Amino acid sequence: MLVFVIRRLLISIPVLIASTILTFLIVKATGDPLTYLKTRQANISPEAKQRFIDQEAHRLWLDRSWPAQYWHWISNVVMHNNWGQQVQGNDNVRTDVFTALGVTARLVAFAIVIALVLAIVTGVVSAVKQYSITDYTTTFAGFLFLSMPVFWFAILLKEFFAIKFNSWTGTQTFYTLNQPTSWVNPGQLLGRVLLPTIVLGLASYAAWSRFTRASMLEVLNSDYIRLARSKGLAPRTVLVKHALRTALIPLTTVTALDTAALLSGAIITENVFQWRGMGYLFLTSLQNRDFNVMLGWLLVTATFVIVFNLLADILYGFLDPRIRHA
């Protein structure tokens, strides 16, 4: 097992390094970060404007070659934990990215819990009662949530649930403006987290419940379950102890992989509910062509994807010995 983990760790290091190069190229492709200066109308002579642009380019290392810029960025991140500065403004990029990550993590954590619980319950029920009304209903609901544009559903909830509820009770229960929520006040936290969580959770729920159903069906049709039944075990024991445990192994992998995707993929949900999380950070930095923020953002998300991939593999190997010894 240890060898397995170490081997997987060693493979993922070059992938991460290559990923930083790829993200650097992507960020370079988004255009010139100093466009905002070049297009700005200013009451100064062209020479002075040009001098200022050159100065800014020098400060941001934009006048060096691409390899030099890449090296400057990556060596500063690795050696000094210095993620660079914003193009416009003096914020520390590392602080920006990790603050945003904290905001998004709150959203994603709740969403995953809701989605998992719902997915396991409906997945198991529709597998056990295959081709029943329940099965067809949950299947259809799953497809519907998978086909529903997240932003459309989010606006719908906001308009018809939050605003109606607020005006009906005369309170600001559902309140999703861009202040960071506190962990201390549970009522306030619930009001701010509930709707985005539902939106984010339902999309994952749909995929996961389909997955649970398929995996559960496969297990229920296997020989060892037939054996367990025929030797007279209680149906409940067979279902929970023998079938469910095995069926959930693949789900852990999928959950781990999707969690990484959710951390960066909450872009749309955050946009509708105006959360200042990862999605907001990326979109604004893209608008400003703020390359250090984009680089930091992509570095964090790439790391998450790789780490969760690793985690999924290790979990799978841990839970299912056949993988490990193969």
Partner 1 sequence: MLETHETISGEETGEPGAGKPRVEREFTVKERSYWQMAGRRFLRHRGAVVSLFVFILLVVFAFVGEKVWHYKWNGNFIDYRDISKAPSLKHPFGTDERYDWMAEVMRGTQQSLKVAFIIALLGTGAGAVWGVVSGYFGGFIDSALMRLADLVLTVPPLALAAALAYSGGGKLWQIGVVLGAVSAPYVARVVRGVVLSLREREFIEAARALGASNLRIMWRHLLPNTTPVLIVNATLLIATGILAETALSYVGFGIQSPDTSLGILISHAQGAVTTRPWLFYFPGLFIILIALSVSFIGDGLRDALDPRQTRERR
CA angle 307, 313, 316 (to 5 degrees): 135
Give the x-and-dash track for 265-284 against partner 1 (CB under 8 A).
x-xx--x----------xx-
**Residue 88, token pair as written in the block:** 């416009």
CB 292 within 8 A of CB 84: yes
**Helix, coil or strand: residue 80:** helix
Stretch in the footprint of partner 1 (CB under 8 A) among 69-77, 92-100, 105-113, 295-303 = 295-303
Size of the residue set binding partner 1 (CB under 8 A): 46
State in angstroms the smallest separation of the CB of 245 from partner 1. Answer: 19
Q: Is 133 exposed, middle or buried (0-12, 13-18, 19+ CB in 10 A)?
A: exposed
Q: Where in 207-226 is the site for partner 1 (CB under 8 A)?
A: 220-221
Intra-chain end-to-end CA distance of the chain, in Å:
12
Residue partners of 49: CB distance under 8 A and separation at least 6: 37, 42
Give the x-and-dash track for 130-169 against partner 1 (CB under 8 A).
xx-----------xx-xxxxxxx--xx--xx---------
Is residue 298 part of the contact set for partner 1 (CB under 8 A)?
yes
Q: Among 106, 301, 311, 317, which residue sits at the site for partner 1 (rule: CB under 8 A)?
A: 301
State in angstroms the smallest separation of the CB of 13 from partner 1. Answer: 12
Q: Among 2, 10, 14, 170, which residue sits at the site for partner 1 (rule: CB under 8 A)?
A: 14
CB-wise, 31 or 89, nearer to partner 1? 31
CB 93 within 8 A of CB 299: no
Q: Among 305, 312, 313, 317, which residue sits at the site for partner 1 (rule: CB under 8 A)?
A: 305
Instruction: Give the helix ranges, DSSP H, for the chain.
Output: 2-29, 35-38, 46-59, 66-80, 93-128, 133-147, 150-157, 164-169, 186-220, 223-230, 235-237, 245-265, 267-273, 278-287, 291-319, 321-325
CA angle 50, 56, 58 (to 5 degrees): 100
Report the alpha-carbon distance of residue 67 to residue 150 in Å, rounded: 39
Is residue 18 part of the contact set for partner 1 (CB under 8 A)?
yes
Stretch in the footprint of partner 1 (CB under 8 A) among 11-19, 41-49, 94-102, 118-126 = 11-19
Distances (CA, A) of 323 to 45, 88, 317: 69, 50, 5
Q: Is 65 exposed, middle or buried (0-12, 13-18, 19+ CB in 10 A)?
A: exposed
State in angstroms the smallest separation of the CB of 273 from partner 1. Answer: 12
Is residue 235 part of the contact set for partner 1 (CB under 8 A)?
no
CB-wise, 37 or 189, nearer to partner 1? 37
State in angstroms the smallest separation of the CB of 159 from partner 1. Answer: 4
Report the alpha-carbon distance of residue 8 to residue 107 in Å, rounded: 30
State in angstroms the smallest separation of the CB of 290 from partner 1. Answer: 12
CB-wise, 51 or 311, nearer to partner 1? 311
State the residues that interact with partner 1 by CB under 8 A. Answer: 14-16, 18-19, 22-23, 26-27, 29-31, 130-131, 143-144, 146-152, 155-156, 159-160, 220-221, 261, 264-265, 267-268, 271, 282-283, 286, 294, 297-298, 301-302, 305-306, 309
